[in-house]
Every structure is written in C-alpha cells, then in structure tokens.
Structure 1
Amino acid sequence: MRQDDEPSALAWTARRVSRHVRWAREQGLRRLIEEDRLNPVDRVAGAWSKSRWRWRHGVPRGSAVPVYLVGLQRSGTNMLVRGLEAAPEFEVRNENDRRVFHRFQLRGDDVLAATIRRSRHAYVLVKPLCESHRVDRLLALPQVAPGRALWMWRDVDDRARSEVTKFGDANLRALRAIADGSIGGRWQGQRLDQDTYQLIHDFDYARMDPHTGAALFWYVRNELFFRLGLDGRDDVLLCSYDALVTDPAGYTRRLCAFLGLPYRPAMSAHVSRRTPVRDPLPIDPRVRQLCDQLTTRLTATPQSTGTPQSTGTPQAAGTRRTVDHG
C-alpha cells in the first residue's frame, strides 16, 4: 500500500530507469542482466523445469512451505535466491515480483498468504528485505503451512562498500530522516525500540560520510536478529555470505539440510569459490566498535552439527540444523 511520503509513480519509474542506466554504464550490461535475472533463455529453462516438477511431484494446494529470505540489502541475498531457484521444488517470489510486492514491499499479508496457498511447489521462497523487521510475524502467518526464515548477513565493510557503490548515500539519508522525525511510515524507521532511536539520534549526520552511514545502518538492521529473539528459534537460520563463498558446495549442502531439501550441484555452481580479503573502510570509531561487537555475536551464534538429510520433503517444525559460519 502506498504511504503518504512515497514518490509518485512517474517519479518512481524515472528513478528506477536512471539507476539501471547508471548501473549498466558502471558495472556492465552483462552483470546487470545476471543480477536481475533478465536472461530470457535462463528464465524459460527455469520455468519449464518447475512446470515439469509440478506435473510430476506437485503438492496439494495449501501445503507449500514459505521460506522467507531476509536481512539487509547488498548482503548476498540474490546469490542465495539464484541457488534455491535452481531447485525445481521452489516457487520464487523475489522483491521485484509485482503480484506480491509493490515497490519492493509486500502488498499485504493477505496477498502473500493467498499466493502461498495457491502454490503446488514444496516451497515458496519470498524475499521481503524491506520487512525483515516483521519476519517473526510473517512466520506466524495464519492459514499457511509453518514456514522457515533465512537471515543473510555479510561483513560490514564489504556490505557498506557494495551499498554505497550501488545506492550512494541512501542509508545515510534514511538514518538522518529517522533522527529528524521525517521518516514517516517508511520501512527504515519501523519497529525500532527506544534504545535504537536514542543511538540514531546521538550522531551528527551533517558530518557523517556515506560508508559510516551504511555501517551504522548495517548495525541497526542486523541487530534485529537478536532483538526479535530469532537466534533462539528453530525455524530461523542465520546465513553467512563469507561462509557461502568460502565453501559453496559444502555450505549449500548444510542449507539444504536445514530445509529438508536434496542438494544438487546446480544450486552452488554459480558461486565462485574464494577467500574474502578484508579491506577496512575508514568508519567512525564509535560505529566501528558497535559493528565489531555485533559481528562477534553473529559469528558466535550457537551452531548444530546435525547430519545433512536429503529427504526431498520439508522438515517438521522444531527441527533445526544451523549452517556453519566458517
């Protein structure tokens, strides 16, 4: 639903076109096509594979398991989507799917629930990044099968660098709007507690650089994982971008084990195996300390070492296998 402070349809379209032109110029058209999954050959092949799976193995309507991929933008979620999309058991509803999303936000819980109930796939993958702060409520969505959530996180410096390259000072502007009260109903300002509001108000945004703003926003959003109690839930999995690129096949196998999904090499074939090399940004020392403390908590989240399963069917609620963080 449109908020009062949303730009008009014309302004929104003009902004998106301008961004895509700039991204194509700076990063190359090939990368843009790959990231936005615009290759028609890949799309047709994927649609055929999923249609064939529904014909042979389709589940009764109303029994598809929702899987919510959440976290923060520029954290590697597209990489995870591409891997899960390679599994024919998945129906994918990415944030650019206009049937479920409006300007990257869910059209409504009723629309989402109806979409999940209609599916004949074993899983429906939904990526509501702008509503990561509501993932606990989405997991309690009535009239759908019990779901799963994947919270994706990435090193703060790598994510801040990627964010600023892609979106400029967007995170800094959002923090400034929260601090001065002009954020309105926008998602960036929703479900913040008093301590977080106070923290945001304590900084001088006229002097803050975009990378520090992106790092502080990283802290505010990823801290929600603990503040919402997601670290203690059996149906939520904390996923590490670094661990995925360090061992694509092994990590994806463990992710499949959590979902009760058979692993296929195609699910990790698109990930180039590499060891992340750190190049710290000159982030404000106070923000750096906050981010370092949260990184320690994220890395130290308790992990299980359960034997991977390949049942091909969703695991029963309450059975947790946590993906290693490296």
Structure 2
Amino acid sequence: MNRSFHTECFLEEDEEAFSNYVLKEKEFIAKLIARSNAKVVAFKAISDSQNLISLLDYFPTAKGIWIFRHFNDVVNSSLRNFTEHKRYLYIMLFEPEKAGWRLQNVTQENLDLIKKFYKEGIDDASSRALIWYLRNVLFFQQKLDFNQKVILTKYENLVADPEIGFESIFQFLKINMDKKITNTVYATSVRKNTPPEIIPEIKALCENLHQQLISHTNDVTPHI
C-alpha cells in the first residue's frame, strides 16, 4: 500500500508514528493523520492489534485490515528471523512489568494455557505457534467478525492473486488501486519449507483457529 499515490503508510519501525513498534499516543497519531494530504493514512500496527476495537472507537472514520498467514509459515519465518520465542512466554508469565503490549487483553484462560505448556516444557517452534494463536484469537475476542469497519483476509490468497486480493482491499478503503503495487508481490514464500514440529495440542488449537479465520474472510479469491 505504500506504493499507492492515494496512501501514506507508516510501518512499525517508523519512529515518527511508533515507539518500540507500538503506536504512539492516539492524540499524536491524530495529528499525523490531520497533516497528511493522502486519502488514506495507513499504520502497520501489528503490536497494537489487541487494541484495534479501541482504535476504531477513537478514530470514527478508521477501518481495520486484519491479515492472517498460516501458522506453519509464520513459525518457520519467525525461527529464521528471531531468537526469543520461549522468552516471549516467560515474560508474560513471570515478568509482567516487562511484557507491555504482549500481555494486553490476554484472557485468564489463555494465560492458563501458557502456564500449562510452559510447565510441561515447550520448545521454540511450539512457543511461536502458541504466540500465533494468542495474537489471532484476538480477532474474535474483540468481536471483529461482527464489525463492518474491519476486513479479514488470508495472506496466501493475497499473494496468489494480488490484483484481485488488493483490489478488494482498496474497494473496502474506497480508493482506486494502482496496478503497479502488485508488481513485486509473489507467492514464493507460501509453504516454502517443511512444516515445523509443533506440540500436537497446540497444533490443534492453531488449526481450529485457522479454519475459523478462513470461514470469516472477506476474500473473493479461491483459497489456497
């Protein structure tokens, strides 16, 4: 979206809008939006997804785009690019003062789930799969499946047929899509590696949630 003439995008590493990958205060974000000449100002606020409903309430004309990717590919990618997977869960359980956004809006039921697997001895791949579950279950916890201001789309469908996938998103935003934005979108990362070994119980949680998400997508492209 940052290649469109109609949009101005702030990615999570952009220090103008984010502080340590978290959106700055709503009042400051409102000023960034007010000064922009773009039709749509977009924020890649992944670390704020647990607060999407409150953001939509604060910004009355705002819309949300929730994109989910299959947990196997997310786990494989995360294991390559990050190191602290089990540590993420440890902080949530034993150092809540350091957890910050990671602990926001996490239910007691899900905290108990983390405790259970941590106590039993969880590996890095299963830790990252559990994190995928914790982050994406927030979509339903916030009842975003009933919110007309939010669109849910599957990453794999978006990259498999980007012209159709992005067109539906731009229609949702009520702006024209520039065809060139799809020129560098490819599906080569989909199922690129062997599925990781995940604790069966966690894998079942992820599979069930993945199917729930698919059933609520707004995609018009065939599922892959």
Normalised by the length of structure 2, the TM-score is 0.91
Which structure 2 residues correspond to residues 1-326 of structure 1 after superposition, within 5 A? 84-142=1-59, 146-168=61-83, 170-204=84-118, 207-273=121-187, 276-277=190-191, 279-301=194-216, 303=218, 324=221, 326=223
Q: 1:165 to 1:262 in 2, by over 3 A?
A: same
**CA distance in structure 1 between the partners assigned to 2:16 and 2:43 by the alignment:** 12
Is this contact kept in 1: 2:126–2:202, CA < 8 A? Answer: yes
Q: 1:71-102 deviations in whole A, cap 9, x for unaligned? A: xxxxxxxxxxxxx1111111111112222211
Divergent runs of 4+, >3 A: 181-185, 273-278, 322-325
Structure 1: gaps (5+ residues): 1-83, 304-321
Task: Measure how far apart 1:107 and its partner are.
Answer: 2.0
Task: Measure how far apart 1:249 and its partner are.
Answer: 1.4
3-state SS of 1:150 partner = strand
Normalised by the length of structure 1, the TM-score is 0.64
Is this contact kept in 2: 1:130–1:187, CA < 8 A? Answer: yes
**CA distance in structure 1 between the partners assigned to 2:141 and 2:34 by the alignment:** 30
Task: Measure how far apart 1:176 and its partner are.
Answer: 1.6
**CA distance in structure 2 between the partners assigned to 1:276 and 1:106 by the alignment:** 29
**CA distance in structure 2 between the partners assigned to 1:325 and 1:112 by the alignment:** 36
Q: 1:90 to 1:224 in 2, by over 3 A?
A: same
Amino acid of the residue matched to residue 201 of structure 1? K
3-state SS of 2:85 partner = helix
Query: Which of 1 and 2 has higher RCO (CA within 8 Å, sep 6+)?
Result: 2
Task: Measure how far apart 1:203 and its partner are.
Answer: 1.2
Task: Measure how far apart 1:261 and its partner are.
Answer: 1.8
**CA distance in structure 2 between the partners assigned to 1:214 and 1:92 by the alignment:** 27
**CA distance in structure 1 between the partners assigned to 2:27 and 2:104 by the alignment:** 20
Task: Measure how far apart 1:157 and its partner are.
Answer: 0.6
Aligned-residue identity in percent: 26
3-state SS of 1:186 partner = helix
Structure 1 range deviating more: 255-264 or 271-280: 271-280
Structure 2: gaps (5+ residues): none
3-state SS of 2:76 partner = helix
3-state SS of 1:113 partner = helix
Amino acid of the residue matched to residue 157 of structure 1? N
Q: 1:273 to 1:155 in 2, by over 3 A?
A: closer
**CA distance in structure 1 between the partners assigned to 2:201 and 2:152 by the alignment:** 25
Amino acid of the residue matched to residue 247 of structure 1? D
Q: Which has the higher helix share?
A: 2
Is this contact kept in 1: 2:153–2:217, CA < 8 A? Answer: no
3-state SS of 1:245 partner = helix
Is this contact kept in 2: 1:93–1:125, CA < 8 A? Answer: yes
Is this contact kept in 2: 1:91–1:125, CA < 8 A? Answer: yes
**Count of paired positions:** 222
Is this contact kept in 2: 1:249–1:268, CA < 8 A? Answer: yes
Q: 1:143-172 deviations in whole A, cap 9, x for unaligned? A: xx511111111110100110111012x232
**CA distance in structure 1 between the partners assigned to 2:111 and 2:164 by the alignment:** 40
